[in-house]
Structure 1
Amino acid sequence: MDGTKRAGIKPGLEVDIVLKQDQRTGRTTRGIVKDILTKSPDHPHGIKVRLQDGQVGRVKRVVTAAGSAE
């Protein structure tokens, strides 16, 4: 699943994000979502999130739904 829809992103999900400094290369960083920072329901470049380790970036891919209540 890609990370352009806010409804698909929840705290506790494992995701791949692109950090601001990696936007040119597209290099991704994997982590667990702590906070969702984008307020709109969707974003063409990915929903902006804060990972549990404090890094902030846009979600490119949801890796697993572990920790979700669905």
Structure 2
Amino acid sequence: MNGQFRKDVIPGILVDIVLKADQKTGKLTRGVVKDILTKSSTHPHGIKVRLTDGKIGRVQKIYTE
């Protein structure tokens, strides 16, 4: 899953996000979702989340089990 749909992003799941500072390089950061920050049901660049370590970025990949 690519993280464009809010219904797929649930607090507690493992995801790869791209941080604002890494958007040009596309470097991914892995972590566990703490909060979902995007209010709309979809976003073309990925749903914005806050990870448990406080980092904020847009979901690029969702890991399911």
Same fold (TM over 0.5): yes
Matched positions, count = 65
Superposition TM-score, scaled by structure 1 size: 0.90
Compute the displacement of 1:63 (Å): 1.7
Q: Which residue of 1 aligns with 2:4?
A: 4
Q: Which segments of 5 or more consecutive residues in structure 2 lack a partner in the other structure?
A: none
Q: Residues 20-35 of structure 1: matches in 2 within 5 Å?
A: 20-35=20-35
In the alignment, structure 1 segments of 5+ residues that lack a partner are: 66-70
Q: Give the percent of matched residue pairs that are identical in Structure 1 and Structure 2.
A: 63
The runs of at least 4 consecutive aligned structure 1 residues that moved more than 6 Å come to: none
What is the CA RMSD across the aligned residues, in angstroms?
A: 0.7
* Length-normalised TM-score, structure 2: 0.97
Q: Deviations over 1:17-52 (max 9, x none)?
A: 000000000000000000000000000000000000
